[in-house]
Every structure is written in structure tokens, then in C-alpha cells.
């Protein structure tokens, strides 16, 4: 772990974060290593502090800003494949939920793996996913970070129950394989790498 990046994100230093990440990239450290070993742990740390009432929403927000400033640097490196897309997929955070960092990382990884990704943003209702499917999305990736928005995933699955062409893959901090099985999702991923495999598997695409 790069302690300086971890600290910069945890304390919400949106100026220092990209500089430190650029230094690591220049030193030849792989973008996915910086992401998984320093950046994501910082967000997890902030969540733990919030759960213990040691920080509040404003601190989570400024940490998220610093994280996003860093992700802007990482994205072009991760998403650069230059190949024909494997499939078109869409991704969105479900209705009522505004958390988008995990969704953005999954979108980046999917792009990096060769998928064409329609990013629908946050607070997406079933109609929004339907529009993406009408525009050719073969898989829908649903993200939820709140136990209160988790049940909306089931509503999206119900909405598409008559369509056996489209695959629905779910994820986000409170989501488990057991929950995915319970609501009959076509796949689950606990992190962005697992997300790519889950999407590929659901569409019958072999990953190298
Ligand atoms: C940053 C943050 C915020 C920011 C979000 C900013 C943003 N642009 O996203 C702000 C300040 C806005 C926020 C607001 C709130 N938050 Co908040 N937040 C967080 C925090 C600290 C980090 C989330 C994050 O970015 N994690 C890092 C990413 C990389 O991880 P991830 O999202 O889990 O994604 C990974 C995997 O889950 C997976 N994945 C994600 N999506 C998908 C999708 C698919 C298809 C797949 C396969 C995989 C996958 O891959 C990702 C990459 O590895 C979490 C703590 C935590 N431990 O999660 C709390 C947390 C989620 N928030 C929480 C709460 C309570 C709230 C608020 C209700 C607070 C309030 N009182 O207002 C509001 C709700 C606002 C709303 N309506 O959405 C609670 C939820 C508790 C619960 N049981 O529901 C948490 C867990 C904090 C806590 N410990 O209590 N929050």
C-alpha cells in the first residue's frame, strides 16, 4: 500500500491525490495495483470511521471527491483496449442510491476488459435500464450500497422477468452471492474484477 495515497484520499485531499497517483504511475506501478491496494482501502477505512461515528457525511463526501480526482487519472489507463467490443452492457446505481464510486470502477474494468459500457449514472429506475436494453444492452449491471436500496434490485429483476435475452448482474458492498441467488440474479461480483468475470460468464464469453 502507498500510505501517502491512502492518507490523501482518507483526508479528502483532492489536490494531492492525483499528484501522488501520477508519481506511482510514472514509477511504473500498475493502475489496478494503485486502485486495489491504496485507493479502495482508503474508502473502506472512511466507511469504518463513519460506522463508528468518528467521521460524518461531509468527510465521506470530501474523501469521495479526492477518490474521484484520482480515478480520473486511472480511468484512461485501465480502459484502453483498442479492440472490437465483446458486448454492449449497461451499468447504474439503483433508484434512491447516490453512491457511484464502486459503479465507476466496475465500469472502468469492464471497458478495460473490452466491453462497450453504457453508464446510466445513479438513482436509476427500471425504465432507465429498459431504455438501455432497447438500445442494445445485453447485460444490466446493478450497483447498490445501501440496505434500503438493495430491494430495488429485485424490482428491476421482476421488470425484466419476461425477457430471457438480457442478463442481470448485481454487486455493491451489502450484496452477497446468497442475495443474488435469492432474487435470481444471473450473476454477482464482490469486486470489480469479479464483476468482469460474472458479466462475461452470464453472456457465455470466455475471458483470457
Ligand atoms: C463515499 C460514501 C458516501 C458518499 C458517496 C459519494 C459517491 N460519489 O459515491 C456520500 C457522502 C454521498 C454518501 C452518502 C450516504 N451514505 Co454512504 N458511504 C460512502 C462509503 C464511505 C464509501 C463507498 C465507496 O465508495 N466504497 C468504495 C467502493 C470502491 O466500493 P464499493 O462501492 O463497495 O464497490 C466495489 C464492490 O462492491 C463492487 N461493486 C460495486 N458495484 C457493483 C456492481 C456490480 C454489477 C458488481 C458485479 C460489483 C459491484 O465492485 C466495486 C469495486 O471493487 C461507504 C462505506 C463502505 N464501506 O462502503 C458509505 C456507506 C455505503 N454509506 C452509508 C450511508 C448510511 C450513507 C447515507 C444514508 C448517509 C446519510 N445519513 O446521509 C447517505 C445516502 C445517500 C444516498 N441516497 O445514496 C452506509 C450504508 C449503511 C447501510 N447499511 O445501508 C455506509 C456503508 C457507511 C457505514 N459504514 O455506515 N456515502
> pLDDT digit string (tens) for 46-95?
989 999 999 999 999 999 899 999 999 998 887 775 667 889 999 999 99
Under DSSP, is residue 11 helix (H, G, I), strand (E, B) or coil?
coil
Q: Flag whether 207 is in a domain.
A: no
Query: What is the crossing angle of helices 40-51 and 3-10, to 10°?
Result: 50
Q: Has residue 28 got a pLDDT over 70?
A: yes
CA 84 to centroid of ligand 1, rounded, Å:
33
**61 lies in the same domain as 102:** no
Tell me the pLDDT of the chain averaged across its residues. 94
Least confident of 4-8, 80-84, 94-98: 80-84
**pLDDT, position 207:** 75
- Taking the CA of residue 188 as reference, the ligand 1 atom at the shortest distance is 47
**125 lies in the same domain as 143:** yes
Q: Is 145 in the pocket of ligand 1 (CB under 6 A)?
A: yes
| DSSP 8-state assignment for residue 206 | P
Residues of the chain with pLDDT > 90, as a percent, come to 81
**160 lies in the same domain as 197:** yes
Residue 177 sits in a domain of what CATH number? Answer: 3.40.50.280
- Which of 34, 49, 79 is a domain's end point? 79
* Mean pLDDT value across residues 120-125: 98
* Mean pLDDT value across residues 25-30: 94
Termini Cα distance of the chain: 27
Alpha carbon distance 187, 141 (integer Å): 9
**pLDDT, position 82:** 61
**95 lies in the same domain as 145:** yes
Residue nearest to atom 53 of ligand 1 (CA): 191
Q: Is 104 in the pocket of ligand 1 (CB under 6 A)?
A: no
* Mean pLDDT value across residues 28-51: 92
- Number of domains the chain contains: 2
Q: Is 44 in the pocket of ligand 1 (CB under 6 A)?
A: yes
pTM as predicted: 0.92
Spatial strand order in the sheet of 167-171 = 116-119, 88-93, 139-143, 167-171, 187-188
**24 lies in the same domain as 119:** no
Least confident of 30-34, 177-181, 186-190: 30-34
Q: Flag whether 208 is in a domain.
A: no
**120 lies in the same domain as 177:** yes
- Which of 79, 108, 127 is a domain's end point? 79
- Which of 79, 111, 137 is a domain's end point? 79
Domain range for residue 16? 3-79
Amino acid at each position: 500500500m502507498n500510505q501517502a495515497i491512502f492518507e490523501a484520499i482518507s483526508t479528502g485531499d483532492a489536490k494531492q491525490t492525483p499528484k501522488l497517483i501520477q508519481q506511482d504511475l510514472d514509477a511504473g506501478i500498475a493502475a489496478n495495483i494503485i486502485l486495489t491496494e491504496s485507493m479502495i482501502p482508503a474508502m473502506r477505512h472512511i466507511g469504518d470511521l463513519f460506522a463508528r461515528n468518528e467521521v460524518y457525511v461531509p468527510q465521506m463526501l470530501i474523501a469521495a471527491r479526492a477518490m474521484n480526482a484520482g480515478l480520473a487519472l486511472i480511468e484512461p489507463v485501465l480502459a484502453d483496449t483498442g479492440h472490437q467490443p465483446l458486448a454492449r452492457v449497461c451499468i447504474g446505481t439503483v433508484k434512491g442510491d447516490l453512491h457511484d464510486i464502486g459503479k465507476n470502477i466496475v465500469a472502468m474494468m469492464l471497458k478495460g476488459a473490452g466491453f462497450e459500457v453504457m453508464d446510466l449514472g445513479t438513482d436509476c429506475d427500471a425504465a432507465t435500464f429498459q431504455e438501455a436494453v432497447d438500445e442494445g444492452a445485453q447485460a444490466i449491471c446493478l450497483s447498490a450500497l445501501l440496505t434500503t436500496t438493495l430491494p430495488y434490485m429485485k424490482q428491476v429483476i421482476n421488470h425484466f422477468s419476461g425477457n430471457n435475452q438480457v442478463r442481470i448482474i448485481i454487486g455493491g458492498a451489502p450484496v452477497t452471492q446468497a442475495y443474488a441467488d435469492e432474487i435470481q440474479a444471473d450473476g454477482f461480483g464482490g469486486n470489480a474484477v469479479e464483476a468482469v468475470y460474472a458479466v462475461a460468464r452470464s453472456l457465455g464469453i470466455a475471458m483470457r
